[in-house]
């Protein structure tokens, strides 16, 4: 659709070679998982790209990092989230509800950004420079900022093909609210024709409208409150996103505010962690996941990351010593991933379900 629309608008020239169009269209069979690559992004590289040893090396590193995000972090926290959500909220209570919500929040980020890293890395190995799809969204200061950082290619897609054609913000306030709700309903339905996805889109539409018209000055003035608010906003958002019907959603949200106490019987969060035989490992991986989800990192991770790998935009390149050690790190990560693939069969890309 984006190719046809861009040709119609004269934003790109129609491609005369059907094989070149086929190369573009076959680049991402699972488009939903992103990054969404428009024809204009890679038009020149369809003809003029060059494959280099440095590109292959950096692309392979990016692929391994993405694979590690998926297998080491996302799968570990997913086992805990699924282990809790298999029960009803009245059984796992408030502690279980928050452990599951945080686990799923980490799972969906590392699952999705890991896939994007792998796609970007494979493209780089073949000479394509795909646009970044994530920019540390969990470090956002507001929900508006969150959506500038999360699945950026999807946000740009709806901005250029729905929001602006509807009139964007150059309209009356009622019409702007209408435009925003249309965009965010479609953003939700993009993930699937189900109530929870539509509700998730509406939820974000309401938050973004409220920020723009009511909360902007307050959030800008009170940065700590703003950070806490946005963390709660996206965690609650992922609970809505995951829950498949209204009745269960009401119970899940009730559990988060302590409506069922700490749970009862044999199904406390601690019992589930112990039963999963990954309680300590989960805590370590969850802390690591939280640390790596911020641009500044914790425990000096940001500085180490830049020395080893540079930055994604290549404005900062790794040092010579860093490049050597990054190779060792990536080799070790790849071996761990191979062992994890061999030892278990739980490797779903959750975004492929949508």
Sort residue 297 into left (φ over 0), alpha (ψ -120 to 50) or beta: left
The better pLDDT of the pair 261, 269 is held by 261
| Contact by Cβ (8 Å): 124, 62 | yes
CA atoms within 13 A on the CB side of 237: 24
Q: Is the pLDDT of residue 255 over 60?
A: yes
Q: Is the pLDDT of residue 32 over 70?
A: no
| Contact by Cβ (8 Å): 307, 322 | yes
Query: Domain-by-domain residue ranges, the chain?
Result: 53-353
pLDDT at 350: 59
State the pLDDT confidence band at 98, using cuts at 50, 70 and 90. Answer: very high
For the record, the structure tokens of 296 come out as: 């500044």
For the record, the structure tokens of 351 come out as: 């975004």
| Contact by Cβ (8 Å): 26, 19 | no
pLDDT single digits (tens) 266-293:
555 566 665 555 567 788 899 999 988 8
> How many whole angstroms separate alpha carbon 141 and alpha carbon 317?
27
**Percent of residues, the chain, with pLDDT higher than 70:** 84
Backbone angles phi, psi at 106, to 5 degrees: -70, -40
Residue 156 annotated to the active site: no
What average pLDDT score do residues 50-55 get? Answer: 87
| Contact by Cβ (8 Å): 138, 234 | yes
Longest dimension (CA), the chain: 67
For the record, the structure tokens of 232 come out as: 């709660």
Among 340, 231, 347, 341, smallest CA distance to 293 is for 231
- Alpha-helical regions (H) of 211-317: 216-221, 223-242, 246-256, 269-275, 279-292, 301-309
Among 115, 104, 98, smallest CA distance to 30 is for 115
**Mean of per-residue pLDDT scores for the chain:** 86
Peptide bond into 296 cis (omega under 30): no
pLDDT at 297: 60
48 alpha carbon, distance to own chain's centre? 31
The better pLDDT of the pair 145, 299 is held by 145
| Contact by Cβ (8 Å): 103, 74 | no
* Percent of the chain as helix, strand, coil, to the nearest 5: 70, 0, 30
Buried b (16+ CB within 10 A) or exposed e, 92-110: bbbbbbbbbbbbbbbbbbb
**Percent of residues, the chain, with pLDDT higher than 90:** 49
What average pLDDT score do residues 184-205 get? Answer: 92
Lowest mean pLDDT among 41-55, 175-189, 261-275: 261-275
State the pLDDT confidence band at 96, using cuts at 50, 70 and 90. Answer: confident
pLDDT at 299: 52
| DSSP helix/strand/coil, 13 | coil
pLDDT single digits (tens) 287-315:
999 988 888 765 556 666 666 776 666 66
pLDDT at 51: 87
pLDDT single digits (tens) 166-182:
999 999 999 999 999 99
Set 191, 222, 264, 296: catalytic member: 191
pTM of the model: 0.89
Backbone angles phi, psi at 345, to 5 degrees: -115, 5
Residues 142, 248, 283, CA angle at the centre, nearest 5°? 60
Q: Is the pLDDT of residue 84 over 90?
A: no
């Amino acid at each position: 659709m984006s190719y046809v629309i861009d040709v119609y608008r004269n934003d790109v020239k129609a491609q005369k070679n059907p094989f070149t169009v086929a190369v573009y269209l076959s680049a991402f069979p699972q488009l939903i998982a992103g990054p969404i690559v428009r024809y204009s992004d890679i038009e020149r590289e369809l003809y003029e790209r060059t494959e280099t040893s440095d590109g292959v090396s950096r692309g392979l590193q990016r692929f391994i990092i993405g694979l590690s995000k998926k297998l080491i972090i996302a799968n570990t926290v997913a086992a805990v989230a699924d282990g809790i959500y298999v029960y009803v909220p009245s059984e796992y209570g408030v502690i279980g509800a928050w452990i599951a919500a945080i686990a799923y929040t980490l799972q969906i980020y590392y699952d999705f950004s890991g896939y994007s890293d792998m796609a970007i890395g494979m493209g780089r190995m073949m000479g394509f420079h795909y646009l970044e799809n994530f920019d540390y969204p969990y470090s956002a200061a507001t929900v508006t900022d969150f959506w500038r950082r999360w699945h950026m290619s999807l946000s740009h897609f709806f901005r250029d093909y729905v929001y602006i054609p509807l009139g964007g913000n150059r309209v009356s306030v009622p019409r702007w609210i209408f435009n925003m709700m249309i965009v965010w309903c479609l953003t939700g339905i993009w993930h699937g024709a189900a109530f929870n996805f539509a509700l998730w889109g509406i939820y974000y539409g309401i938050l973004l409208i409220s920020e723009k018209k009511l909360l902007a000055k307050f959030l800008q003035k009170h940065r700590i409150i703003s950070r806490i608010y946005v963390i709660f906003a996206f965690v609650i958002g992922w609970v809505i996103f995951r829950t498949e019907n209204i009745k269960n959603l009401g119970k899940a949200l009730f559990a988060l505010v302590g409506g069922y106490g700490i749970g009862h019987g044999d199904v406390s969060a601690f019992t589930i962690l112990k039963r999963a035989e990954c309680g300590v490992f989960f805590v370590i991986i969850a802390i690591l996941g939280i640390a790596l989800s911020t641009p500044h990192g914790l425990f000096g991770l940001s500085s180490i990351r830049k020395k080893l790998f540079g930055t994604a935009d290549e404005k900062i390149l790794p040092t010579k010593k860093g490049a050597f050690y990054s190779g060792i790190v990536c080799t070790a990560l790849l071996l761990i991933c191979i062992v994890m693939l061999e030892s278990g069969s739980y490797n779903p890309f959750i975004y492929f379900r949508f």
